[in-house]
Amino acid sequence: MGVAERREREKQHRREHAVEAAMEIYNEEGYYSITMDKIAERAEISRAALYLYFKNKDEIFISAIMTYMDCFCSLLSDVYDRRDSIKEALLEELWGCFIKFHENDPVAFDASMFFHQNEVVRNLSPDLRDMLYKAGSSAVSYQHKITEYGVSQGVFIDCNPRTLAEVIWSSFFGIMQVERSKGEITGKSHIESTRDIALKVLARGIKVKHEEENS
């Protein structure tokens, strides 16, 4: 390995450490308590070195979210690519993507949702806001494709597929938000059972075969 290559790998390693440190602090203290000094200390790099890699803490978080959203898009893309072979289980497969999206990294999931709040987005620089928008748009586009296919194939009820995609995602996101709040207040959470019931309810309202069975 040459000197230049080794230095580049070391630089990338420090960047990854900084991102990991930022996410750890976010999980422990919340976004508004984070400072570049805290990140540098947790990552065991100098403050000056940290600023060589990132301009501010928002840039660190967007870097983490972009990587995370890429994984989400890969999951959605896989479902869409297999759409013909999983037609009758399309809703369950889409719901499974959301579950994997959350379970892959719950902290990053929470951070990605946090950064899509209007107040936070408004405070981002135009470049970071654009990056976040593009990442979110890509995931939404895949969800639209999946629901459009489901409606066109008669697997889902005849409705606006884009609105349907929003209903499915909003159901999942709402559950995660409520269960997270319950966990913080009571120390108890019923995420898995609540998600399972929600999927059954959605399936009865969305999947055409359920309408036929109950008629």
Each residue's pLDDT tens digit, 149-184: 999 999 999 999 999 999 999 999 999 988 888 877
d(CA 109, CA 133): 16
Whether 54 contacts 18, CB under 8 Å = yes
Confidence of residue 115 (pLDDT cuts 50, 70, 90): confident
Whether 194 contacts 171, CB under 8 Å = no
pLDDT for 1: 64
Domains parsed from the chain with CATH numbers? 1-54 (1.10.10.60), 57-214 (1.10.357.10)
Each residue's pLDDT tens digit, 42-96: 999 999 999 999 999 999 988 888 888 999 999 999 999 999 999 999 999 999 9
Whether 25 contacts 33, CB under 8 Å = yes
Give the predicted TM-score (pTM) of the model: 0.85
pLDDT for 80: 98
What is the rounded average pLDDT of the residues 26-41?
94
Rg (CA), the chain: 20
